[in-house]
Amino acid sequence: MLLSTRDLTKTFPGTRALDGVSFDLKAGEVHALLGENGAGKSTLIKCLTGAYHRDSGDILFEGQPIFPQSTLEAQAIGIGTVYQEVNLLPNLTVAENLTLGHQPRRFGLIRPRAMHAQAEAMLAGYGLEVDVRRPLGYYSVAVQQIVAIARAVHLSGRVLILDEPTASLDAREVRMLFDVIRDLRARGLGIIFISHFLDQVYEISDRLTILRNGRHIATRAAADVDRMQLITLMLGHELQQDAATRQRPAVQAEGAIKFAGTGRRGRIAPFDLTVHKGEVVGMAGLLGSGRTESAEVMFGAAPTDSGTVTDSDGPVDLRNPRAAIAAGFAFAPEDRKTDGIIADLSVRENIILALQARRGWARPIPQAEQVRMADDYIARLDIRTPDAEKPVGLLSGGNQQKVILARWLATNPRFLILDEPTRGIDVGAHAEILRLIEDVVAEGMSILVISSELDELVAVSHRVIVVRDRRHVSELTGDDVTTDTIVRAIASADDMPGAGA
Amino acid sequence: MSIRALPLYATIAIFLLAYLICYIQFPAMLSTRVIGNLLTDNAYLGIVAVGMTVVIISGGIDLSVGSVIAFSGVFIAVVLRETDMHPMLAFALLLAITTAFGAAMGGMIHLLAMPPFIVTLAGMFLARGAAYMLSIDSVPIVDPFYEMMQRAYYLMPGRGRLTLLGMIMVAAVVIGMIVLHRTRFGTNVYALGGGEATARLMGVAVGRTTVAVYAFSGFMAGLAGIVFSVYTSAGYPLATVGVELSAIAAVVIGGTLLTGGNGYMFGTLIGVLTMGLIQTYIVFDGSLSSWWTKIVIGALLLMFILLQKGLLRLRVSP
Amino acid sequence: QTIGFSQIGSESGWRAAETTVTMQEAERRGIDLRFSDAQQRQENQIAAIKSFIAQGVDAILVAPVVATGWDSVLEEAAEAEIPVVLLDRMVDSAPELYLTAVGSDLVHEGRVAGEWLVEAVDGAECRVVELQGTTGSSPAIDRKNGFEQGIADADNIEIVRSQTGDFTRTRGKEVMESFLQAENGGADICALYAHNDDMAVGAIQAIKEAGLNPGEDILVVSIDAVPDIFQALAAGEANATVELTPNMAGPAFDALEAYFADGTMPEKFIQTESKLYTQSDDPAGEYEARKDLGY
Amino acid sequence: MSGVLRRVAPQLLTLAAVIALVSIYFPMFYEVVYVNDRLVGIPIDVVKRGAPVALLAIGMTLVIATRGIDLSVGAVMAICGASAAWAIDQGFGMWAALGIAGASGLICGLWNGLLVAVFGIQPIVATLILMVAGRGVAQLITGGTILTFDHDGFSYLGSGTLLGVPVPAVIWVLTGIGFGLLVRRTALGLLVESIGINLRASTLTGINSRVLLIAVYMGSGFCAALAGIIATADIRGADANNAGLWLELDAILAVVIGGNSLLGGRFSILASLLGAMIIQTINTGILLAGFPSEFNLVIKAVLVIIILVLQSPRLLPQLAVLMPRRQSSPQKTKTEEGT
Ligand SMILES: Nc1ncnc2c1ncn2[C@@H]1O[C@H](COP(=O)(O)OP(=O)(O)OP(=O)(O)O)[C@@H](O)[C@H]1O
Ligand SMILES: Nc1ncnc2c1ncn2[C@@H]1O[C@H](COP(=O)(O)OP(=O)(O)OP(=O)(O)O)[C@@H](O)[C@H]1O
Ligand SMILES: [Mg+2]
Ligand SMILES: [Mg+2]
């Protein structure tokens, strides 16, 4: 065994994140770690790499017990890790991020040129066009993720750990990553791979370990479990399969919101878009194509500098998010850590925050009402938290996403913009969120969904807008909404006929 | 690289512009005398600002430096008065003390997870208090070695003096540049300023770096104390009150963000010279009452910062 | 004539008055006075003097914040042949580095205050509390020493408490309150000695608020002779003050004039009078005479 | 209520410890007597003398909760004191003086708030500007002198008593209660904490963070104005140079001793006020103890360091474990969670 744990236990106040977990990683295998949000996957790897100190249990590296006190020690024995959220430093250059801690030196001084060459070499093979001298923060989340992977791969002499590395990557980049992983596996590394995309799990993994509520449930060869069994192992029950049957209520004609020539210089070309009441509009495109920018413009987070927005009552004021919220808009952003959650506030406070902001400071929501709302949404969205008073920053990623959804649902908006709402969310919650979208749409809410998962878009959208190079290049409706057509629209060099750009 | 350096360019441009304006009003401002004075008079500030830059880039702040300078002067003066130690030995002893003092503050910040602002504020009280306990009176330093250091200057054409003290400051800046931009420690400092948790996950030895950062600042404050004691050939427990704020202002004018993770050592030198320029301009003008002096310093400070922000916005937006 | 004046700051009313008087004197004599405020920092003063030299002024007045550390800048001025006159505080540099110094003897001021107290209590037991100036400043040190010399021979007088009041009214009042608390509500205190009038004025308020009569229950003696203390003297709430005149510039300009005219070297130390004022010295009149001097 | 008590327990314990320490040197500490219609005693002195720092700490708590800091409060005190004294001197009367002083404080706060919220200048730097220039402004008003006045109504605010209690103490307690109610009985407290933790996310949630930030700095300016009024009324004169000198540091210290994080977010005004009283007890204790002045700073520094170390986030949990009252074993938490 390359790396194994015996009876690993880790407790946080109010939560037992790991409960006697035993786990083995062999050399030359890709071992997927699976489980619902909050199952303890990230906690397990953080204990393995010394980022957390375990309460009890053993960690063995090649049969020898190790006691990593810091990630530095883990790196020293050849464990490279990509942690769940992009964990590099945006203020350092790409090269500095890649080489931090092992910069080439002469007489104790860093040699910048050699450092840049080394960084470029580390990035070769990922098909990235970046200037390693630029600050990392200049690049998109996807680029940052790849840089993080490149760094971890470089550091991984023996073990590579990837905690949801693909959440913000598109298909092409995932393919490239998998090529790298296969290559490393062939060279005898042990690789731990965490993902909520079961397709990817089946594509790359040799074995699977399933955690639930901090406990080890099963370890199987990937070939021995089928998808349904796997999901049942993860959830502890079968997945209700009603989301697959697509029966959407027809969109309503009145109450549409019309964007005409809306745009912002340098961010997104002016576009026209009409969102009907009770309609789900999907938005597809490659990373960096301008989907988030579209959403920000539509929510007033990046105010428009052209065009008009109207509804049946006349012009809609979208000067800033506050105005947009007053007009009944809502926006669950892509980067929940920096744009979404208020980490130190409790789940309850995070849920009521948008509603409270809209009511104004002078009319506080009564405590009892707050508790009722929080409990209600915790139950409805199945948010895994010991209680409503836990700081939201301590929840697992998927549950944080649900809290943000709850925050916006609490304001009962008429137009809800969801930017990558299911990123990092487990299969169970994924299905729940899709069901939720159907529910609120049935009540007449309009929704714009931005997602890199085309299956998901196809499953929920009435209509899909395809974005490329910061322009809305085409619009697919009705039976045209299939993964195939979307992929083609994204890839095609010229605009499809009937494009609404 | 160039994007990160924009604030630095803006700072340099504003400084040159300001100098030009001063020159037009008072041609004597461009004499070697004034330039020499600018370096010498701000030597202690420049040195302490080098340490402060490192601290601020690491995401911290060091309020103790002004008191440490005062302590250093008193310590050296008392040691030289009471013993017949050679000044160089006293310097070494002092630098060991101030470095250890800085390291102790860094250790507290790291081990007890206490905010730097507060730890160094306590350090500021402690160092000043220690200076009082050594002597409440100002203690003159009479020592041939000191006289030698004071007289060590190169007379530039135009009777300007390029002094040893000024050169020590320039050397400190150069060392600071090398440490910050060309060592692993320097990159770790930037990493720490970018985000401590992330830096830790990336394998930066956060504790060691924090201690080293404040030790470096303590060392520089000690060095500034030595320079200051040469400058005034005395130790005075009431000296350099509020210098920490001047140093912070100089670092900020130099384009370093107080939030940490961004900035350049060279910018700090420009910031220090800018502060010196403001001071010189006010003296040359000579018509400001005590209160207008304060208001004008504040207003010029504000102007520099707003200009810098404006320039950056202009450059970034298109 | 252009003369540079490097002032310490404006930390007290007395110093503000000194600045005003200096400016008035300069104007009266048609001197172009370049004023620089050092905000209480010696390094600023040194830099200012150097800038004056670079500017090429005809003479420099300095009110040095501290005695030490002026050698090299004074040498620089001497090299540039610019005469320097010290105002109200001394430096410990070689006398040939400056033309003259105008000032009062701080130790002497303290001694005058002490001697007044010895006389006033006339042999009776007296427990004195002392409000010191800013710790480490030369007036605080010298006025303390002087007072102690003044009462050295009187065994009946004893300083029982001594704390810094930072030369300010607020702190003077606060510290006096704690003295009163600590000394049996003030019943055990016979006299107060304050290093400046501002602290005395604050302390007088504290004494009144504690239900005692300043000037009677507790004798009050202080130094500076600012207008407000004369009001207190007139009201019988203070007993004595030692004058420190803010007109240091007048004698300084006189000396400079003589020097420029025919190279007359003035005395190295021009001492101003440290006059003692008590309740019997027409305090109301003195107040009127001073109140517009910019104190 | 028990939540509040648990929050301020460390501060209460510290205060008790400091009082105990002082009373070793000064056993009469607890003696409070009623003479001449006023309470007299050291605790009374502490609550009276602590008024400026307590008032500043109230505003500072809010500013720090937004992840800012206000270095200008000392200078703002001087400005407001000076304008009040000027108004009295001009014979505008008490209420006009109070109005002018309060308005000056609000304007100073507005200035800081604009620099921070609109121009995006970092709080330390933005308020440093007013810290430097503010004293100049104050001296401009007083003309560099100590502007004295004789007005019994106004002096009452500094040295009067209400039912035996010094008026400054009444003012800070009422202000503390007022601000406490304002932030906790409305949603302001939550919104302030929110922008302090994550400004960007809060703005996206629809909080008017710009206006809120400005309001918070204005609140701090207002508290500084009250402190300035008290300081001026106390000595019946405005001392532009020394009023509130370095008090910003004591105020920040009070907020931190109150267990509030300098990184913004959760805050407790009550705890900050206790912090201010801890500091004032130390200050008064030093005066009473009768050490030579040159020891003052070292004693204060050492006490503050000890307090901060004992309250530090790393040590506090450990100390809690040492106390036998509630060992939080994992098992127990588990069952609690289950029920
Ligand atoms: N620092 C922390 N403090 C307190 N609780 C924590 C902390 N980190 C994680 N937890 C809790 O531990 C449990 C496991 O979290 P973990 O992040 O390991 O889940 P995960 O399996 O990685 O979930 P996801 O798929 O959403 O990433 C969760 O209940 C979470 O709330
Ligand atoms: N692979 C890449 N190489 C270089 N730059 C990129 C790459 N991907 C994105 N960028 C740049 O990153 C910036 C922001 O990307 P961001 O992900 O925010 O765009 P987006 O339209 O929101 O993407 P998404 O469609 O994933 O939401 C853009 O300026 C884009 O040009
Ligand atoms: Mg995880
Ligand atoms: Mg996006």
- The residue out of A412, A442, A467 marking a domain boundary is A412
On the question of pLDDT at C42 being above 80, the answer is yes
- Judgement on whether residues A14 and A73 belong to the same structural domain of the protein: yes
The model's confidence at residue A253, banded by pLDDT at 50, 70 and 90, is: low
Which chain D residue lies closest to A300 (C-alpha atoms)? D204
| Mean pLDDT within A446-458 | 89
Q: Do B290 and D144 touch (CB under 8 A)?
A: yes
Residue A112 binned pLDDT confidence (cut-offs 50, 70, 90): very high
Q: pLDDT tens digits for A31-45? A: 999 998 888 999 999
CA–CA min distance C206, chain D (Å): 9
In this structure, what token pair is assigned to residue D74? 């000392």
Same domain, residue pair A228 and A253: no
In this structure, what CATH number is given to the domain that contains residue A41?
Answer: 3.40.50.300
The answer to whether residues A222 and A298 belong to one domain is no
Query: What is the C-alpha to C-alpha distance for residues A482 and A464, in angstroms, rounded to an integer?
Result: 9
What residues does ligand 1 touch, defined as CB less than 6 Å away? A 12, 15, 17, 35, 37-43, 84, 394-398, 426
Residue-range definition of the domain harbouring residue A377: 347-412
Q: Could you tell me how many CB contacts below 8 A there are between chain A and chain D?
A: 90
How are beta strands A446-450 and A280-285 bridged, if at all?
Answer: parallel
CA A336–ligand 4 middle distance (angstroms): 12
Which of the residue ranges A18-22, B306-310, C183-187 would you say has the lowest mean pLDDT?
B306-310
Given a cut of 90, whether residue D15 has pLDDT beyond it is yes
What is the rounded average pLDDT of the residues C80-92? 91
Residue A301 lies in a domain: yes
Atom of ligand 1 nearest to the CA of A426: 25
Give burial (CB, 10 Å; 0-12/13-18/19+) of A114. middle
Q: What is the pLDDT of residue D334?
A: 31
A495: pLDDT confidence band, cut at 50, 70 and 90?
A: very low
* B and D in touch (3+ CB pairs within 8 angstroms): yes
- Whether D243 and D138 have beta carbons less than 8 Å apart is answered as yes
Q: What is the DSSP letter of D247?
A: H
Please say which residue of A173, A206, A235 terminates a domain: A235
Average pLDDT of chain A is: 87
pLDDT computed for residue A243 by the predictor? 46
Find the range with the poorest average confidence among A223-227, A482-486, B142-146, D316-320: D316-320
D252/B309 Cβ within 8 A: no
Same domain, A324 and A443: yes
- CB pair distance less than 8 Å for B44 and C43: yes
CB distance from B290 to chain D under 8 Å?
yes
Query: How many angstroms away from the CA of B272 is the closest CA of chain D?
Result: 15
Report the 10 Å Cβ neighbour count for C282. 14
Q: Are residues A12 and A24 in the same domain?
A: yes
Nearest CA residue ID for atom 20, ligand 2: A288
**Strand A105-106 vs strand A109-110: parallel, antiparallel, or unpaired?**
antiparallel
Query: Over 80: is that where the pLDDT of A186 sits?
Result: yes
**What global pTM score does this model have?**
0.92
Instruction: Find the ligand nearest to A128 CA.
Output: 2
Neighbour count for residue A91 (Cβ, 10 Å): 23
State what percent of residues in chain C have pLDDT above 90: 75
Q: B208 — contact with chain A (CB < 8 Å)?
A: no
**Domain for residue A259, yes or no?**
yes
Give every CB contact of residue D7 below 8 A, 6+ residues apart in sequence.
D259, D268, D270, D271
What's the pLDDT band for A86 if we cut at 50, 70, 90? Answer: low
Q: Read off the pLDDT band of D338 (50, 70, 90).
A: very low
Contact present, D121 and B305 (Cβ < 8 Å): yes
Q: Does A337 reside within a domain?
A: no
3-state secondary structure labels for all residues of chain C: CEEEEEECCCCCHHHHHHHHHHHHHHHHCCCEEEEEECCCCHHHHHHHHHHHHHHCCCEEEECCCCCCCCHHHHHHHHHCCCCEEEECCCCCCCHHHCCEEEECCHHHHHHHHHHHHHHHHCCCCEEEEEEECCCCCHHHHHHHHHHHHHCCCCCCEEEEEEEECCCCHHHHHHHHHHHHHHCHHHCCCCEEEECCHHHHHHHHHHHHHCCCCECCCEEEEEEECCHHHHHHHHCCCCCEEEECCCCCHHHHHHHHHHHHHHCCCCCCEEECCCCEEECCCCHHHHHHHHCCCCC
CB distance from D203 to chain A under 8 Å? yes
Provide Rg for chain C, Cα atoms.
20
Q: Is A333 inside any structural domain? A: no
Residues A133 and A56 in one domain: yes
Do A221 and A173 lie in one domain? The reply is yes
pLDDT score recorded for residue D288 = 87
What pLDDT shows up at residue B235? 93
CA-A173 nearest atom, ligand 2: 1
Q: Which residues pair with A418 in a beta bridge?
A: A332, A449
- Reported as type and span, the H/E element at residue D129 is helix D123-142
One domain for residues A223 and A256: no
Q: State whether A287 and A141 are in the same domain.
A: no
Mean pLDDT along residues A323-336: 91
- What pLDDT score was predicted for residue A240? 66
Specify the ligand 2 atom closest to the Cα of A420: 27
CB contact C134 to D (< 8 Å): no
The reply to whether A182 and A297 lie within a common domain is no
Residue nearest to atom 21 of ligand 2 (CA): A290
Over its C-alpha atoms, chain B yields an Rg (Å, rounded) of: 20
Q: Are strands D161-162 and D32-35 parallel, antiparallel or unpaired?
A: unpaired
Residues of chain B short of pLDDT 50, as ranges, are 1, 317-318
- Which chain C residues are Cβ-neighbours of B282 within 8 angstroms? 36
Element (H, E) at A233: helix A227-235
Q: Residue B27: exposed, middle, or buried by beta-carbon count in 10 A (0-12, 13-18, 19+)?
A: exposed
Q: Which domains does chain D have, with CATH numbers?
A: 50-311 (1.10.3470)
Per-residue pLDDT at C88 exceeds 60 = yes
pLDDT class for A382, splitting at 50, 70, 90? confident
Same domain membership, residue A169 and residue A46: yes
Percent of chain A clearing pLDDT 90 (strictly above) = 46
Domains in chain B, CATH or no CATH each = 3-312 (1.10.3470)
Per the CB < 8 Å rule, is A361 touching D337?
no
Both A405 and A466 in one domain: the answer is no
Single-letter amino acid code for the residue at C105: D
Ligand 3 midpoint to CA C151 (Å): 79
Report the chain C residue with the minimal C-alpha distance to residue D42.
Answer: C181
Question: What confidence tens digit (pLDDT) does each residue in D111-138 have?
Answer: 999 999 999 999 999 999 999 999 999 9
Domain termination residue (choose one: A412, A443, A465): A412
pLDDT at D318: 61
Cβ neighbours of residue C114 closer than 8 Å, sequence gap 6 or more: C146, C147, C148, C149, C150, C151, C193
Is the predicted pLDDT of residue A161 greater than 90, yes or no? yes
Which residue's CA is the nearest one to ligand 1's atom 31?
A395
Q: Is residue A250 pLDDT above 70, yes or no?
A: no
Give the H/E segment covering residue A8: strand A3-12
Q: Is A253 exposed, middle or buried (0-12, 13-18, 19+ CB in 10 A)?
A: exposed
What average pLDDT does the structure give for chain C? 92
Q: Which among D136, D256, D300 has CB closest to B292? A: D136
Please give the pLDDT value at position B258.
85
Classify residue A342: in a domain, yes or no: no
Greatest mean pLDDT among A98-107, B56-65, C8-17, D36-45 lies in: B56-65
CB B140 within 8 A of CB B233: yes
Q: How many domains does chain A have?
A: 3
Instruction: Examine residue A335 and state whether it is found in any structural domain, yes or no.
Output: no
ipTM metric:
0.91
Residue A406, domain member (yes or no): yes
Residues D157-166 have a mean pLDDT of: 91
Answer yes or no: is the C-beta of A288 below 6 A from any ligand 2 atom. Answer: yes
For chain D, give the mean pLDDT.
89
Q: Is residue A189 part of a domain?
A: yes
Tokens of A58: 């053993």
* C209 Cβ under 8 Å from any chain D Cβ: yes
C-alpha angle with apex D91: D87 to D94, nearest 5 degrees? 65
| The token pair that represents A145 in the structure block | 């993720």
